[in-house]
């Protein structure tokens, strides 16, 4: 197990693209870190710099405290798993698994026992004499995992390894990879653009946008206290609801949307009085599960009256959509059998769950 550290890493490609800007983070021994963000945000570039497949423009890469910027890729002792499996088509599964050990000139008896060990761990014993084209996508990805772990590397790097699998298999492989990580305890960096994978797999999530690290936090913290509006919107499905507006004070404290597209009252609590004093323009974010609906005006002060534009019944929960100035908002509910699309209803907001952002989009 090894500690991995990146200090003020920048990457500028020869064509001038600045793909990574001043990224610093560390992965403690045995951690499973997920790098997530939209396509083009620099995730693969970070991973490739750690693997030594891409040079580092400036900054320091450290393995257990020692500078590793100039270490050749083959001396980094890294196990990589890619989206496209990268298995050798002309070799059997057994030979594919054994390949990394053969290169290292490991003794034949040792190779044999390690292949059996890995095959058992990943439940691929029956596939050993087949060729990659004779097995399914999920099985191929399992073999690719096996080939990464057979060397007992210092780190694992995963680059969108589940993207080519169907939804059901992805869920299954998520669990398998995490269980494997629990068993082996190897420091791992996992790249994905899928926020569900990030939330379900990471002990820590690093969220990137335009080459800049937006937040480095546990899934729980990033979900409940996203540092900026981008993080709030990227994590969670359906997307968090955003309400941009201003405070107004008459009999009580009101929050009013641009062009008066909505308004709701707020209790005179210290929190809201403080915010009303601090910020003129503000955006409140609220997760769909913190909005409820009713036909009668709620007791709660903070409500918006609107029409239901869509209902998605997912079995265990129901998503109800409404619109505010052409922006779709959603509420996550349990039992809504008495409601239908087109109903005018009250959406009540749990004000204790409102997350405030300033006009730059940063949490207040
Ligand atoms: P991600 O993995 O998040 O999709 P990448 O790390 O692949 O993002 O890319 C980050 C940015 O760097 C993108 O703008 C991409 O177009 C650019 N980029 C990636 N590889 C190269 C390269 N070899 N030369 C020039 N630009 C590149």
So what's the pLDDT on residue 165? 83
Could you tell which of 15, 16, 17, 214 is best to mutate to test the pocket of ligand 1, judged by most ligand atoms within 8 Å of the CB?
17
Strands (E), the chain: 4-12, 18-27, 32-36, 58-63, 66-67, 78-82, 155-159, 187-192, 204-209, 212-217, 241-249, 253-257, 263-266, 281-286, 291-294, 303-313, 318-324, 327-333, 344-349, 355-357
pLDDT of residue 55: 96
Q: Ligand 1: list residues with CB < 6 Å.
A: 13, 15, 17, 19, 37, 39-45
Q: pLDDT 10s digit of each residue in the chain, 364 long?
A: 689 999 999 999 999 999 999 999 999 989 999 999 999 999 999 999 999 999 999 999 999 999 999 999 989 999 988 877 788 999 999 999 999 899 889 999 999 999 999 998 888 999 999 999 999 988 998 899 899 889 889 999 999 988 888 888 889 889 989 998 999 999 999 999 999 999 999 999 999 999 999 999 999 999 999 999 999 999 999 999 999 999 998 878 999 998 899 999 999 899 999 999 887 899 999 999 999 999 999 988 899 999 999 999 998 899 999 999 999 999 999 877 889 999 999 999 999 999 999 999 999 9
pTM: 0.92
- What's the confidence (pLDDT) of residue 137? 86
Residue 183 · residue 117 · CB < 8 Å: no
Bridge-partner residues for 187, per DSSP? 155
Q: Of 42, 354, 357, 34, nearest to 218 (Cα)?
A: 34
CA nearest ligand 1 atom 13, residue: 40
Say whether 173 sits in a helix, a strand or coil: helix
Within 13 Å, how many C-alpha atoms sit on residue 10's CB side?
A: 10
Residue 58: CB partners within 8 Å, gap ≥ 6? 8, 9, 10
CB atoms within 10 A of CB 55: 12
For residue 165, give every residue at least 6 positions away whose Cβ sits within 8 Å of its Cβ, in sequence order, or none. Answer: 137, 138, 141, 173
Whether the bond between 238 and the residue before it is cis, its omega within 30 degrees of 0, is: yes
Cα–Cα distance measured from residue 225 to residue 205, given in angstroms and rounded to the nearest whole number: 13
| Per-residue pLDDT at 103 | 86
To test the ligand 1 pocket, which listed residue (42, 47, 163, 210) has its Cβ within 8 A of the most ligand atoms? 42
**Contact of 253 with 266, CB cutoff 8 Å:** yes
Quote the pLDDT of residue 1. Answer: 60
pLDDT at 335: 75
CA-nearest of 134, 124, 135, 157 to 51 is 157
Tell me whether strands 155-159 and 18-27 are parallel, antiparallel or unpaired: unpaired
Whole-Å CA distances, 80 to 155, 161, 262, 335: 8, 10, 50, 46
For residue 332, give the 3-state DSSP assignment.
strand
pLDDT confidence of residue 355: 97
Residue with tokens 């709030």: 232
Q: Which residues is 60 bridged to in the sheet?
A: 7
For residue 211, how far is its CA from the centre of ligand 1 (angstroms)? 9
């Amino acid at each position: 197990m090894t500690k991995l550290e990146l200090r003020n890493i920048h990457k500028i490609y020869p064509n001038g693209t600045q793909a990574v800007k001043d990224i610093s983070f560390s992965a403690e021994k045995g951690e499973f870190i997920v790098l997530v963000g939209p396509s083009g945000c620099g995730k693969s570039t970070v991973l490739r710099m750690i693997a030594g497949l891409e040079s580092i423009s400036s900054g320091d890469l450290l393995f257990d405290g020692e500078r590793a910027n100039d270490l050749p890729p083959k001396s980094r002792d890294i196990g990589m798993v890619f989206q496209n499996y990268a298995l050798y088509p002309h070799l059997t599964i057994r030979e594919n698994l054994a390949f990394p050990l053969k290169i290292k000139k490991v003794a034949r008896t040792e190779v044999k026992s390690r292949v059996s060990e890995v095959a058992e761990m990943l439940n691929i014993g029956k596939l050993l004499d087949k060729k990659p084209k004779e097995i399914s996508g999920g099985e191929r990805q399992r073999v690719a995992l096996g080939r990464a772990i057979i060397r007992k590397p210092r780190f694992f790097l995963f680059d969108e390894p589940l993207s080519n699998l169907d939804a059901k298999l992805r869920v299954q492989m998520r669990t398998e990879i995490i269980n494997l990580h629990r068993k082996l305890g190897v420091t791992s960096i996992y790249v994905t653009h899928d926020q569900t994978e990030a939330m379900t797999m990471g002990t820590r999530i690093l969220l990137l946008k335009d080459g800049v690290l937006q937040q480095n936090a546990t899934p729980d913290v990033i979900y409940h206290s996203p540092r900026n509006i981008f993080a709030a919107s990227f994590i969670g499905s359906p997307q968090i609801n955003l309400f941009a507006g201003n405070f107004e004070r008459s009999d009580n404290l009101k929050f009013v949307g641009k062009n008066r597209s909505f308004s709701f009252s707020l209790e005179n609590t210290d929190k809201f009085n403080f915010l009303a004093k601090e910020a003129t323009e503000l955006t409140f974010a609220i997760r769909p599960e913190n909005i409820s609906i009713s036909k009668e005006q709620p007791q709660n002060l903070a409500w918006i009256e609107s029409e239901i534009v869509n209902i998605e019944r997912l079995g265990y929960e129901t998503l109800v959509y409404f619109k505010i100035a052409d922006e779709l908002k959603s509420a996550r509910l349990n039992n809504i059998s008495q409601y239908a699309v087109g109903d005018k209803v009250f959406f009540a907001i749990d004000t204790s769950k409102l997350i405030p952002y300033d006009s730059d989009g940063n949490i207040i």
